[in-house]
Amino acid sequence: MAGTFCERLGPLKEPILSADSLSYSYRDLSTPVLNDISFTLGSGENVALIGSNGAGKSTLLKILPGLLFPYSGSVRIGTLKLMPSTLNQIRRRIGFIFQNTEDQLFMNSVLQDTAFGLLNRGVPSSEAEKRAVQMLTQLSAEHLLHRHPARLSGGEKTLTALAGVLVMEPDILLMDEPARGLDPAARRRLIDLLQGLKHTKLIATHDLDLAYDLCSRILVLHQGRLVTDSDRSVLKDDAFLRSVQLDLPLRFQQNTDPMDPQ
């Protein structure tokens, strides 16, 4: 099924991110975690990155903004090649939401966490705070302004991390298991929020129902290789999903989604 996406859905929009022959190995592992991964994201696409535990999803996400070096192959954001000398330029265009949002929440209030990146970029404190308040208000999270991140729920932590990323005005959002640990109501609010964002999104997730709701394109990693680049109909293919150690989304296991277009 690899390579069928463009044939099914037509040519990509203007490429905003491209990976070419990416491979990566951790020093303590003899087998590569990633092996010859190539794909391109068009501007404004919502793309899910799925695979069983150990498939290489988090590693791939961390390579794209230069959180992991060295690797073989190349990454480009637009026409700019990722390398140590271009890291600052690359990271201005990419927002990253970690699987454990506590890894990026470390200030004494939600407002301070949201403004931190702007301050680090040299934006005056009054302007940074103003823009942070505006972003939290846009996300309907202004009630969290003065809360300590340690006292937030899982959904509120994800929302705070997202606010801190969006206020930096990136072109691309990379998200590692954004729905992890969320209750159903918080998960639905997150999906609705992400559907309203126009950014290019690459979302690594085990939540295949979220992938089906949010993404028109699915990348499947298996044992460090990109085995499929397809539209979301692949999430209805039980035999294929089983072959890569995944299960059907719950809606197709239970057949209880009367609104789903067949």
Residue 227, SS3 per DSSP: strand
Query: Per-residue pLDDT tens for 97-141?
Result: 999 888 899 999 999 999 999 999 999 999 999 999 999 999 999
Within a domain: residue 258?
yes
pLDDT at residue 255, rounded to an integer: 57
Question: From CA 65, how far away is CA 91, in angstroms rounded?
Answer: 6
CATH number assigned to the domain comprising residue 237 = 3.40.50.300
Within a domain: residue 98?
no
Within a domain: residue 239?
yes
Within a domain: residue 72?
yes
> Do 160 and 198 belong to one domain?
no
* Cβ count near 30 (within 10 Å): 7
Torsions phi, psi for 191 (to 5 deg):
-60, -45
pLDDT at residue 31, rounded to an integer: 78
Within a domain: residue 60?
yes
Ranges of beta strands (E only) in the chain are 15-24, 34-42, 46-50, 72-77, 80-81, 94-97, 172-176, 200-204, 217-222, 225-231
Residue 211, SS3 per DSSP: helix
> Do 61 and 1 belong to one domain?
yes
Within a domain: residue 74?
yes
Question: From CA 29, how far away is CA 227, in angstroms rounded?
Answer: 22
Residue in the block written with tokens 């129902």? 209
Q: Is 3 exposed, middle or buried (0-12, 13-18, 19+ CB in 10 A)?
A: exposed
Question: From CA 180, how far away is CA 207, in angstroms rounded?
Answer: 8
Q: How far apart are the first and last CA of the chain?
A: 20
pLDDT at residue 93, rounded to an integer: 94
∠ CA 99-103-107 to the nearest 5 degrees?
140
Within a domain: residue 73?
yes
Within a domain: residue 99?
no
Question: From CA 171, how far away is CA 16, in angstroms rounded?
Answer: 8
> Do 109 and 188 belong to one domain?
no
pLDDT at residue 27, rounded to an integer: 81
pLDDT at residue 1, rounded to an integer: 36
DSSP conformation letters of 25-56? --TT-SS-SEEEEEEEEETT-EEEEE-STTSS
Which CA distances in Å does 106 have to 129, 178, 247, 259? 17, 18, 36, 41
∠ CA 35-39-41 to the nearest 5 degrees?
145
Q: Which domain holds residue 164?
A: 104-169
> Do 165 and 179 belong to one domain?
no
| Residue where a domain terminates, one of 169, 186, 204 | 169
> Do 74 and 192 belong to one domain?
yes
> Do 68 and 140 belong to one domain?
no
> Do 160 and 182 belong to one domain?
no
> Do 45 and 138 belong to one domain?
no
Question: CA torsion sign, 93 to 25 to 22 to 223?
Answer: negative
The two three-digit tokens of residue 248, written as one number: 């059907």
| Residue where a domain terminates, one of 149, 169, 189 | 169
pLDDT at residue 259, rounded to an integer: 52
Q: How many domains does the chain have?
A: 2
The two three-digit tokens of residue 201, written as one number: 């999104």
Residues of the chain with pLDDT under 50: 1-12, 257-258, 262
